[in-house]
Amino acid sequence: MSEDLTSTAPEGFLSVPNTAEAVEPELIPAGDYTLRLTRVENTTSKKGDPMLHLVFMAEDSGMTNPAPIHSYLMHPLPSDDEGQRNNKTLGFKRFFECFNVPVDGEGQVELAMLEGLSGSVTLTIRPGKGEYGPSNNISKWHKAH
């Protein structure tokens, strides 16, 4: 059991945990998995566009330290053309159908009620790009039955 390190160091010093015990999370191999939504928040992209940030954990990966899966759903913008609006809206539709969220047409969904929901997806591994290393990517949202 780790001790509380916030109050053990003298003034001007930092108590450091045993970093030798820290392990990096592992990417989940490509395949079909059940994901549980652990965090959801409205936020903005680097460009300042509104988006929904979703964080999932794989319930059936069989791994001891699987990496969390991050997914982003971009909100349709008034400046989007018809194709862009459709693709962004389709992303929300597929997410809602996968996690059995009862939405039909326009409306509102309480974000807190989404946390803890589970759905089936196909994961792939996205190669690293720039400052970011490889990551899991949701390539298909399976419609809930």
Comparing CA positions, the residue from 114, 141, 110, 120 lying closest to residue 39 is 114
Please provide the DSSP assignment of 7-54 as one string: SSSPTT------GGG----BPPPSEEEEEEEEEEEEEE-TTS-EEEEE
CA 16 to chain centre: 29
| Torsion 106-110-111-114 (CA) sign | negative
Judge whether residue 64 has pLDDT over 50: yes
Could you read off the pLDDT of 83-126 as tens digits, one per residue?
Answer: 999 999 999 999 999 999 988 777 889 999 999 999 999 999 99
Strands of the sheet containing 118-126, edge to edge, are: 69-74, 50-58, 31-44, 118-126, 135-141
Cα–Cα–Cα angle for 131, 70, 34, nearest 5°? Answer: 140
- Token representation of residue 88: 């962004």
Q: Are 98 and 141 in contact (CB under 8 A)?
A: yes
CA 55 to chain centre: 2
Q: Would you give the DSSP letter of residue 141?
A: E
Please give the domain boundaries of the chain with CATH numbers for all domains: 27-141 (2.40.50)
- Token representation of residue 93: 């539709």
The reported pTM is 0.84
Could you read off the pLDDT of 84-95 as tens digits, one per residue?
Answer: 999 999 999 999
